[in-house]
């Protein structure tokens, strides 16, 4: 586990920080430096129709680890998550500065095809959104788009993805049934299987369990832990206990800024900043 | 970050504020009780008051009950609130502190039992000067540790930690002079051994007060200084942290 006490805040001087109009005089506290980073966000600012949502944010997401983004509503955590696979491209009102690199490659570079980026960086949303087709076809959907697979190979991958999403045993006898016949928790795991089928390198999870009952939530959390040997996971959650349970690293965002980013165990037992402490302990700021 | 003694009253949930406040209050009540136990056990010995010694011995059950009650409250807070950061450290510090206070209670009861047997034997007791001296010293440590806990005062806590070494030295030299008494007069062996047990119990009270002070530093700074040599504790590092 990379836990070097190396701080790498943004490169700005104090003067430029004041110019940006935000009172983050100390800059973020970043309490570790990943050995191997998968995603490098640097100086990322993002605004919706001129209204800033992320302000000069710099952080590195370590490979094959679970990183959680936490913070109050409107802090920018979902905006940041969506920026990681360019979901904001669809919204013309969004303006962006700064860079995001996936395995060293700038994701906004002209040669990067968005659909290939989204295959490499999959996303799962709060409400499960299975397609109106069978369980099997849901998982095979992305594979069919890619094309070039034999039926047998396709079957293997569908089984593998459902296994990886911890759903296989529950659905193996009814693969042709409608995806909508599944419980909400199963639907969410099906959506994860659909994302896994195209072999992403990163899985972005935006409140993946907030619509689920406690048992389904635990299954999703268990799944998140089991997947990190194969891919990098980034989780946005309002549920701090969930972040504490499943993530290796936690970034606390507030007002579009990164406030504190540290190994989860130390952030939840001994945060360095009062803003973090107040948020995770449920105190008034 | 550093926390202050009123940090725990700023939760959005007032009920949670109240639960944490109660933990602290109950811990202080238990602290007051064991402090008094030590005081009265030593007084019983010095004044030859066997009824007081019996009272101390019998009151140990109250101390034990308080430990169970506070531990139970801590368990409930952990289960219901899943506290984090300084709230979590407070609950852990309280659980640890009750264990040490309970042990101090045991030491007080041990002193009372030895005092009783000395009083009943009716022999002249030697070494009482040392007992008085060390008991005053460890009682001050205990009082300071509890004050440091109540006020989240790490400087006072650090003083207590440093004080423990002085008590250990005093204990060593008291033991040496008691050994001399025993060698001089073998009829004194029985009573002197009882006094030695009492001194040993007082020295242990000092150790537990030292532990309490360490929990204060953990609670406020998030820094675990248990098993650290007092000379190695870097005051600047303590100040910088947070």
B114 interfacial to chain A (CB closer than 8 Å): no
DSSP states along B2-20: ---TTGGG-BS-HHHHHHH
| Nearest residue in A to B92, CA atom | A269
User: How confident is the prediction along chain A (285 residues), in pLDDT tens digits per residue?
Assistant: 333 333 333 333 333 333 333 445 567 888 877 789 999 999 999 999 989 999 999 999 999 999 999 999 999 999 999 999 999 988 889 999 999 999 999 999 999 999 999 999 999 999 999 999 999 999 999 999 888 899 999 999 999 999 999 999 999 999 999 999 999 999 999 999 999 999 999 999 999 998 888 998 998 999 999 999 999 999 999 999 999 999 999 999 999 999 999 999 999 999 999 999 999 999 876
Residue indicated by tokens 């906004």:
A108
A237 with A210: CB under 8 angstroms? yes
Determine the Cα–Cα distance for residues B202 and A110; give it in Å rounded to an integer: 77
pLDDT at site A271:
93
Q: Residue A252: helix, strand or coil by DSSP?
A: strand
A265 interfacial to chain B (CB closer than 8 Å): no
User: How confident is the prediction along chain B (242 residues), in pLDDT tens digits per residue?
Assistant: 777 877 777 888 888 999 999 999 999 999 999 999 999 999 999 999 999 999 999 999 999 999 999 999 999 999 999 999 999 999 999 999 999 999 999 999 999 999 999 999 888 788 899 999 999 999 999 999 999 999 999 999 999 999 999 999 999 999 999 999 888 888 888 899 999 999 999 999 999 999 999 999 999 998 888 888 777 776 666 665 54
pLDDT at site A24:
52
Whether residue B12 and residue A270 make contact (CB cut-off 8 A), yes or no, is no
Rg (CA), chain A: 19
pLDDT at site B3:
78
pLDDT at site B31:
98
H/E stretch holding A39 reads strand A37-48
A283 interfacial to chain B (CB closer than 8 Å): yes
Closest CA relative to residue A150, chosen from A140, A139, A160: A140
DSSP character at residue A89: G
Contacts of A242 (CB under 8 A, 6+ apart): A68, A209, A217, A221, A235
Contacts of A26 (CB under 8 A, 6+ apart): A273
Residue in B3, B7, B85 closest to A280 by CB: B85
Longest Cα separation, chain B: 68
pLDDT at site A5:
34
CA torsion through residues A267, A273, A276, A277, sign: positive
pLDDT at site A95:
94
A274 chain-B contacts, CB cut-off 8 A: 1
pLDDT at site B202:
97
A252 interfacial to chain B (CB closer than 8 Å): no
Q: Residue B99: helix, strand or coil by DSSP?
A: helix
Question: Taking the model in full, what pTM does it have?
Answer: 0.82
Q: Topology of B14-236 in CATH?
A: Methane Monooxygenase Hydroxylase; Chain G, domain 1 (1.20.58)
Give contacts of A 182-241 with B, CB under 8 A. Answer: 240-241
Whether residue A270 and residue B16 make contact (CB cut-off 8 A), yes or no, is no
pLDDT at site B138:
97
pLDDT at site A26:
63
Residue in A241, A273, A281 closest to B86 by CB: A281
φ and ψ of B40, to 5 deg: -75, -30
A34 interfacial to chain B (CB closer than 8 Å): no
B166 interfacial to chain A (CB closer than 8 Å): no
Determine the Cα–Cα distance for residues A149 and A158; give it in Å rounded to an integer: 12
Domain boundaries, chain B: 14-236
């Amino acid at each position: 586990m990379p836990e070097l006490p190396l701080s790498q805040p943004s490169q700005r001087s104090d003067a430029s920080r004041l110019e940006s109009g935000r009172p983050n005089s100390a800059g973020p506290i970043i309490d570790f430096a990943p050995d191997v980073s998968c995603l490098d966000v640097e100086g990322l600012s993002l605004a919706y129709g001129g209204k800033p949502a992320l302000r000069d944010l710099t952080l590195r997401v370590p490979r094959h680890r679970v990183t959680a983004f936490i913070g109050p509503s409107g802090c920018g955590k979902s905006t940041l998550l969506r920026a990681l696979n360019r979901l904001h491209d669809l919204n013309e009102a969004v303006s962006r500065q700064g860079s995001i690199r996936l395995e060293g490659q700038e994701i906004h570079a002209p040669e990067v095809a968005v659909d290939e980026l989204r295959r490499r960086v999959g996303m799962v949303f709060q409400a499960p959104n299975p397609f109106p087709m069978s369980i099997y076809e849901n998982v095979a959907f992305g594979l069919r788009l890619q094309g070039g697979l034999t039926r047998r190979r396709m079957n293997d991958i569908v089984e593998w993805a459902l296994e990886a999403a911890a759903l296989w045993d529950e659905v193996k006898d009814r693969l042709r049934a409608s995806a909508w016949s599944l419980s909400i928790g199963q639907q969410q795991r099906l959506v994860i299987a659909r994302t896994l089928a195209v072999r992403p390198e990163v899985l972005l999870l935006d409140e993946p369990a907030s619509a689920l009952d406690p048992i389904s939530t635990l299954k999703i959390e268990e799944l998140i832990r089991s997947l990190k040997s194969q891919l990098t996971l980034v989780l946005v959650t309002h549920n701090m206990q969930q972040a504490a349970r499943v993530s290796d690293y936690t970034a606390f965002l507030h007002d579009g800024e990164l406030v504190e980013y540290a190994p989860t165990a130390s952030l939840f037992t001994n945060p360095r900043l009062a803003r973090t402490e107040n948020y995770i302990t449920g105190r008034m700021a | 970050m550093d926390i202050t003694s009123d940090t725990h009253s700023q939760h959005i949930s007032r009920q949670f504020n109240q639960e944490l406040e109660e933990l602290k209050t109950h811990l202080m009540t238990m602290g007051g009780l064991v402090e008094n136990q030590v005081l009265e056990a030593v007084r019983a010995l010095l004044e030859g008051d066997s009824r007081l010694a019996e009272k101390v011995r019998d009151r140990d059950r109250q101390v034990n009950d308080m430990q169970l009650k506070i531990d139970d409250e801590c368990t409930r807070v952990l289960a219901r609130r899943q506290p984090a950061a300084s709230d979590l450290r407070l609950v852990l510090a309280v659980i640890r502190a009750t264990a040490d206070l309970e042990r101090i209670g045991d030491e007080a009861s041990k002193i009372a039992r030895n005092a009783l047997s000395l009083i009943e034997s009716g022999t002249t007791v030697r070494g009482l000067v040392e007992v008085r001296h060390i008991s005053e010293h460890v009682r001050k440590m205990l009082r300071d540790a509890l004050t440091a806990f109540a006020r989240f005062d790490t400087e006072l806590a650090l003083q207590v930690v440093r004080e423990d070494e002085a008590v250990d030295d005093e204990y060593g030299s008291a033991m040496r002079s008691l050994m001399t008494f025993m060698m001089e007069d073998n009829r004194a062996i029985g009573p002197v051994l009882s006094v030695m047990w009492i001194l040993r119990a007082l020295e242990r009270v000092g150790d537990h007060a030292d532990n309490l002070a360490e929990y204060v530093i953990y609670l406020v700074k998030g820094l675990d200084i248990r098993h650290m040599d007092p000379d190695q504790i870097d005051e600047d590092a303590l100040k910088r942290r947070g």
